[in-house]
Amino acid sequence: MNDRLSTVRERIASDDGDGRLPNRRFVVGVLALLVLLALPVGTGPLFLLKMTGAFYFAIFAMSWDVVSGYTGNLSFGHSFIFAVGGYTAALLTLDAQLSPVVSVLVGVLAAIVAGLVIGFPALRLRGPYFAIVTFLLPSALTGLFVLYKGTFGGELGLPSPAYLLDMNGQVATITANYYLALFVFVAMFALLFAVTRSRIGEILTAIRENEDAVASSGINPVKYKLLAFELSAAVGGFGAALFVHTPIGGANPTQLLAVAVSINVLLATILGGIGTIVGPAIGGVVFYLLRDSLDSISWNIPVLGVSFSSLDLILFSIIILVVIYFIPDGIVGGVQQTARRLGGPDEESAMTDGGRSTLERILTRYRRDLEEDWGERNE
Amino acid sequence: MNALILSAVFALVSLGLTLIFSVGGIFNLAHGVNVTLGAFSAWYIATVLGYNIWFAAVIAIVVPAAFSVLLYKGMIRRIQEQPMTVMTVTLLVELISEYSIREIIGIQSRSVPALFGGIIHVAGATIAVNQAAAFVITWALIAVMFVVFDRSRLGKAVIATSMSARGAALVGIEKDQIQLYTWIAAGALAGIAGLFFGSLRTADWSMGMNALVIAFPIVVLGGMGSIRGTLIAANFFGFLNVFILSYSDPSLSKIVPIIVLILILLAKPQGLLGREVGA
Amino acid sequence: MSGMSEASAGGTDRALEPSDGLLVIDRLTKEFGGLTAVDRLSFCIRQQEILGFIGPNGAGKSTVFNCVTGVHAPTSGTVWLDGQEVTGKPPHEMVKLGLGRTFQNFRPLEDRPVVDNVKLALFPDEILSRDGWNRDLDAEAVAICERVGLGEQLFHRPSELPHAGLLRLELGRALATEPTILLIDEPFAGLANLEVEEISKLLVELRDDGLTLVIVDHNMRGLFSIIDRAVVINFGSFVAEGLPAEIKNDPKVQESYLGGERP
């Protein structure tokens, strides 16, 4: 028994990076952080602005991953949370003249409440139903914002509230906001990483894998699913509340509420590696920068005599569509291997895995849920 | 009367959705595109190119149907085993089409010319002939759908496939073919709905999403895969919609269906007439 | 005690009381739509016995199981565990109260090895508990795995285990929840004779260590040698109850099986 026990303890120790040789992934992470910290030295304010946006988007993606990647219920309307957090904060700063710091805190609270709104119905709905309900929620909110255009600014959104950090001069402000975004990004990453690698994370992934098995182990799945929702709402809302108080963000449907936002966090996370936190962190930044880079390509199609300003969005979506369609597991698998090597939870078990990625598990469980509810449908 | 027309138009959109789910087990989030295509192709043919409105109407049916066929054969068929992937992909398609329409047409709403002009007097009320025609045509279509499913071989084949693809195959019904038919039907019906939306109200770039926002609650509420349920739910929401419109702001109509849906799902996760989830 | 023989009578003779046994089921009824799957079933399970719960396929055994363990809420009837009423409580609560169960169609967590499967069942259901003390749980998990005979397969994935191994894993996970009574759903299905012997031995050992066991099966082949008592049901209703030898010769029981084993 004892040498078996010590084998088990060894496994865990190597997982924790327990002070022996620094983990390879840890080293890479530190290096990346150093580069990011030094970034303002080598690049101009425009790029810093983009990175700021990328960091906040990555925070959104990570918050999505907590719910969708870890409970296995894919949310198709997470922009609902971001909008609640962002708009609340912006409104408080603008109309109630509260200090941005206070507004942000209240924004987070509002998002947590919104998380309960999604959370409670979600706990009773199976995956596909959950997907549809979450898909519809942002439209409802948009409708509300248009209805009360005076308060919420309708389709154009609200004017920009005061920045959290406003220095003398544009470059200084941008740089300061960059560091703020970096700091929050790292902090949120650390928080979510810690939670998902803890016992709670083990329970969440177990729920994702097989909820009945968890219940029969004497653990109440509802409690933990709710925790995942609230954590997601808090992080997402926090990110959004901060975001609207920066030069690059504002409380408007395009940046916080559109279908595009919801699906972009989904795509970025899937492409980066769902269910890892590291995946959306890296995938979020990369996805955002990629999409942004297409912007700089301006096209002019003579046939229709119209200059396509949204062509970049269309192009980008088509590219992503092709990627997702032709190699839904291929690229994901490849990137996931990379993400795993950089810090996934089931790293060493990849060998005896049988090769089933997290995404595959989630997809399979969806099919199983659907089939259980609706009877045999496919061969 | 208005409510009845609206209900029927909602029903046309929702029936397509429910059919596709029923037979294929997947949610087509690009279904809204059919509505938009129907409305805008009719508008383009009739208003921009100036052709006869009836010709435009035919185009309004053909274009979305063709689009649906392309979508199904080109993309969905290969990934239909993975419902979530289908949802993601179709959502992307929806998004792309929204961007495209916004680019090409702009954000103004357009109007589709009426099929019929003039007014008539019915039971003491004065209504536009177009409205009356819409009423007759849409409900006739629904009745036809009912008959098709109840009586015709094709209809029975669809029902058989929806219950058990393997069983249906045993009696020589090919699931792929049946699916193709449902996608065509869904596209055509939604196109007609778009045509009527466009002429009775207006057509704009967001009408696809708006259609989904109503259609999904209808389908889920009526019970995924239940045609009868869908019709009942469509009527419910149609009347609700008119009620809201007469007493308050149109924007409210986007919010209410979802709230109603959530409330009902909380109470009854299978919808109103959903299949019983057995032991 | 004259009360004993009455207490062990099942069926619809008289209303049972909480004190009649460790687990007491009184007039349990479950209806699905128009179908009555379980019909006023009453029986009790006594401390530290091994009870065989038997019936042909479709008799409703799984439904009874599910109603008792909280998967379904019964339409009517009462369930008492150790004197406390527990009717309709959700599964995780039943487990915490000491009612463990295994699943016939094995539901392990495929995404982690055997030892982690068991370890999960050891977790306390508290979010804000003292986290990080994985060490203790490791020792316990390894011990349990060895107890059920999986000492050599600690790091195997469930998909790599043979049928008997999966059963052992189910038992291990159930044991980790520290049950006072364990409901085991059709353990011998798909096992070779040798494996049946080994598992039987394990079950008896568990009982001797203090556990009460209820074993469900559709025939008595595997159970005969280890059960103390048997309850037979068919069509959701009570058929007979008594010692194995009695049951075997009971004409009502034989009738249920139409003179032979059902597939």
**For A9, which of C95, C113, C135 is closest by C-beta distance?**
C135
Most confident option among A168-172, A179-183, B141-145: A179-183
Q: CA neighbours within 13 Å on the CB side: how many for B244?
A: 17
Q: Is the pLDDT at A16 greater than 50, yes or no?
A: no
Q: Which domain holds residue B128?
A: 2-208
Q: Is the dihedral of CA A267, A269, A272, A273 positive or negative?
A: negative
Find the residue in B nearest to C74 (Cα).
Answer: B279
In angstroms, the separation between the Cα of residue A215 and the nearest Cα of chain C is 5
The residue that leads in pLDDT, A191 or A342, is A191
Whether residue B250 lies inside any domain: the answer is no
In angstroms, the separation between the Cα of residue A363 and the nearest Cα of chain B is 6
In angstroms, the separation between the Cα of residue A317 and the nearest Cα of chain B is 7
**For C92, which of A209, A219, A349 is closest by C-beta distance?**
A219
Tens digit of pLDDT per residue, chain C (263 long)?
333 343 344 554 567 778 888 899 999 999 887 788 898 999 899 999 999 998 888 788 888 989 999 888 899 999 999 889 999 899 999 999 999 999 888 889 988 999 999 999 998 887 776 654 555 788 889 999 999 999 899 999 999 999 999 999 999 999 999 999 999 988 888 888 888 889 999 999 999 999 999 999 877 777 888 899 999 988 888 888 889 888 888 888 877 776 444 43
Contact between chains at B266 and A321 (C-beta distance less than 8 A) = no
Region A22-46 average pLDDT: 85
Provide, as residue numbers in chain C, all residues whose Cβ is less than 8 Å from the Cβ of B279.
Answer: 32, 37, 63, 66, 72
Contact between chains at B91 and A135 (C-beta distance less than 8 A) = yes
Which pLDDT belongs to residue C204? 93
Whether residue B187 lies inside any domain: the answer is yes
Q: Minimum mean pLDDT among A18-32, B23-37, B249-263, C188-202: which range?
A: A18-32
Strand A299-301 to A306-308 pairing: antiparallel
Is residue C52 within 8 Å of C231, Cβ to Cβ? yes
Which pLDDT belongs to residue A19? 44
Whether residue B265 lies inside any domain: the answer is no
Region A237-251 average pLDDT: 93
Contact between chains at B84 and A375 (C-beta distance less than 8 A) = no
pLDDT band at B61 (very low <50, low <70, confident <90, very high): very high
Q: Minimum mean pLDDT among A29-38, A227-236, B117-126, C89-98: which range?
A: B117-126
Find the residue in B nearest to A118 (Cα).
Answer: B262
Contact between chains at B25 and A377 (C-beta distance less than 8 A) = yes
Which pLDDT belongs to residue B274? 46
pLDDT band at A373 (very low <50, low <70, confident <90, very high): low
Find the residue in C nearest to A356 (Cα).
Answer: C111
Whether residue B223 lies inside any domain: the answer is no
Which pLDDT belongs to residue A346? 47
**pLDDT tens for residues A204-213?**
999 988 888 8
Domains along the sequence of chain A with CATH: 44-342+352-371 (1.10.3470)
Whether residue B128 lies inside any domain: the answer is yes
What residues contact residue A243 under an 8 Å CB cut-off, 6+ apart? A56, A86, A249, A255, A256
Find the residue in A nearest to B264 (Cα).
Answer: A121
Find the residue in B nearest to C60 (Cα).
Answer: B279
Which pLDDT belongs to residue A233? 96
**pLDDT tens for residues B212-246?**
989 988 888 877 667 788 888 888 888 888 888 77
**pLDDT tens for residues B103-114?**
888 888 888 887
- CA C208 – CA C202 distance, rounded (Å): 10
Contact between chains at A136 and B261 (C-beta distance less than 8 A) = yes
**pLDDT tens for residues A72-105?**
888 999 999 999 999 999 999 998 888 889 999 9
Q: Minimum mean pLDDT among A108-122, A322-336, A342-356, A357-371: which range?
A: A342-356
SS (H, E, C) chain C: CHHHHHHCCCCCCCCCCHHHCCEEEEEEEEEECCEEEEEEEEEEECCCCEEEEECCCCCCHHHHHHHHHCCCCCCEEEEEECCEECCCCCHHHHHHCCEEECCCCCCCCCCCCHHHHHHHHHCCCCCCCCCCCHHHHHHHHHHHHHHCCCHHHCCCCHHHCCHHHHHHHHHHHHHHCCCCEEEEECCCCCCCHHHHHHHHHHHHHHHHCCCEEEEEECCCCCCCCCCCEEEEEECCEEEEEECHHHHHHCHHHHHHCCCCCCC
Q: Which of B28, B73, B100, B103 to mutate to test the interface with A (most CBs of A within 10 A)?
A: B103
Q: What's B47's DSSP letter?
A: I
Q: Is the pLDDT at A329 greater than 80, yes or no?
A: no
Q: Based on the structure, what is the number of domains in chain B?
A: 1
Contact between chains at C37 and B276 (C-beta distance less than 8 A) = no
10 Å Cβ neighbour count for B33?
Answer: 30
Whether residue B19 lies inside any domain: the answer is yes
Measured CB to CB, residues of chain B less than 8 Å from chain C are: 276, 278-279
Whether residue B274 lies inside any domain: the answer is no
Which ipTM value was assigned to this complex? 0.83
The residue that leads in pLDDT, A298 or A151, is A151
Most confident option among A312-316, A342-346, B173-177: B173-177
Q: Which of C65, C106, C120, C166 to mutate to test the interface with A (most CBs of A within 10 A)?
A: C120
pLDDT band at A355 (very low <50, low <70, confident <90, very high): very low
B269 touches chain A (CB under 8 A): yes
In angstroms, the separation between the Cα of residue B251 and the nearest Cα of chain C is 41
In angstroms, the separation between the Cα of residue C16 and the nearest Cα of chain A is 27
C142 touches chain A (CB under 8 A): yes
Strand B119-122 to B125-128 pairing: antiparallel
Region B91-103 average pLDDT: 87
Whether residue B114 lies inside any domain: the answer is yes
pLDDT band at B135 (very low <50, low <70, confident <90, very high): confident
